[in-house]
Amino acid sequence: MSSTVSTKKSGNAALYALTIGAFAIGLTEFIIMGLLPEVASDLQISISSAGLLVTGYALAVAISAPFITVATSKMKRKELLIILMVLFIVGNAISALSQNYSVLMISRILAALTHGSFFGVGSVIAADIVPKEKRAGAIAIMFVGLTLANVLGVPIGTFIGQAFGWRSTFWTITGIGIIALIGILLLVPKVKSSQTSLKQELSVLRKPRVHVALLMTVFGFGGVFTAFTYVAPILVDVTGFSSNAVPYILVLFGIGTAVGNIVGGKLADKYLMGSLTGILIILALVLALFTWTDQFKVLSLVTILVLGIAGFATVPGLQLNILNTAKEAPTLASTLNIAAFNLGNALGAYIGGLVIEEKIGGGLVAVPWVAAIVTAFGILFTWISWRGQNRRLARSTQ
């Protein structure tokens, strides 16, 4: 009995440590959205160019994550997490010291190198230390760090950046990274490296259903960032809020992400593909409606809240889906899905920038409905995946 309690406590402690790390990394990823006008003004660049700081970070995650995972496949997981967090701290310190756009972009890319492997390894650890029927819930707990980054981190970080300069926000993130490093050192137990061979891990790349699962993530979550990357200028220039109101409005989005993450995890444990399909449909509808509701202050606030709920309700299900799809190579598959999330972020930010510059749309006001179209592709790939799973199930029962 005491052994069971001890194991449960150590497992909970590990989840808390992972959550702290997830908070720090999530804050680095999302904070640029709240500080987009300040960064653009200080560095004398356009809003769309500042938006590329989101794209650059996300692309760095998407491209580097699989290679880092393969290169560190035999490393002990705790040691890997420590190295990743040290690199994260260094990257954010350089961001705080940067005096021009190029250095800021490079420093964000450096910090981004930690993102995919941290969440990939963390997801596997979280899923392994709980019963099978609670795996999505455990992943959701770790990803609470991301939701807290939105609930508390982005609004507070935006306020700090507006009050004391955007660089002060990155100094704050550097400090949080140090706290996360201490948490990992003290709370995460020594965990064995992956027991699968490199050949077995790489074999997952040959499966078409894995590709479909990754495309679900790219487009399903990509729609969120097509709109959310530019939420600050939308709220100020379209809705008519003052820039000082943006941090408080982002609290609504953060609350929504916290609710959505937990609800999405519970639904995914019971009805994985059905819940994912329904949530993505709701997300697409919310984004489409934002084209109209962003004209009204009260309705835009409601939309921001629901967008947070629907957007992050997809996260635990999409992560569990890839673990189920590639059971024989969980670490690489999990990391690839984190890369897919960030590829979706990069794609969304890039598409949103093109819309703002009126290269594929009607400027800032058209960003939400284009985001809805991106999500619609995620719905399509989810339907393809669900249909394929049903066919394989039918064949196995014959």
Q: For position 84, which CATH number holds? A: 1.20.1250.20
What tokens were used for 152? 């508390």
Spell out the residues 6+ positions from residue 86 whose beta carbon is closer than 8 angstroms to its own: 181
Q: pLDDT grade, residue 216 (50/70/90)?
A: very high
0.85 cut: is pTM over it?
no
State which amino acid sits at residue 364.
L
State which amino acid sits at residue 40.
A
Q: Which residues form the domain of 389?
A: 2-397
Q: pLDDT grade, residue 217 (50/70/90)?
A: very high
Answer whether residue 194 shows pLDDT above 60.
no
Mean pLDDT of 5-18: 63
Q: How far is CA 121 from CA 48, 73, 83, 124, 385, in A?
A: 33, 10, 13, 5, 24
Mean pLDDT of 15-39: 85
46 within 8 A of 40, measured Cβ to Cβ: yes
Q: pLDDT grade, residue 7 (50/70/90)?
A: very low
| pLDDT score recorded for residue 1 | 38
Half-sphere exposure (Cβ direction) of 41: Cα atoms closer than 13 Å: 9
- Please tell me which residue, 14 or 241, carries the higher pLDDT value: 241
| pLDDT score recorded for residue 6 | 43
What percent of the chain shows pLDDT beyond 70? 89
| pLDDT score recorded for residue 122 | 77
27 within 8 A of 149, measured Cβ to Cβ: yes
d(CA 346, CA 351): 9
Mean pLDDT of 94-122: 89
Mean pLDDT of 285-301: 94
Encode burial over 330-358: b for 16+ CB neighbours within 10 A, e otherwise: bbbbbbbbbbbbbbbbbbbbbbbbebbee
d(CA 161, CA 38): 8
Q: Helices 330-356 and 367-397 sit at what angle, rounded to 10 degrees?
A: 150
Q: pLDDT grade, residue 268 (50/70/90)?
A: confident
Mean pLDDT of 269-277: 88
What percent of the chain shows pLDDT beyond 90? 31
Q: What element of type H or E holds 157?
A: helix 154-164
| pLDDT score recorded for residue 246 | 84
d(CA 116, CA 60): 9
Answer whether residue 258 shows pLDDT above 50.
yes
Number of CB atoms found within 10 A of residue 2's CB: 6
Answer whether residue 188 shows pLDDT above 80.
no
Number of domains in the chain: 1
State which amino acid sits at residue 49.
S
Residue-averaged pLDDT of the chain: 84
349 within 8 A of 308, measured Cβ to Cβ: no
Q: pLDDT grade, residue 195 (50/70/90)?
A: low
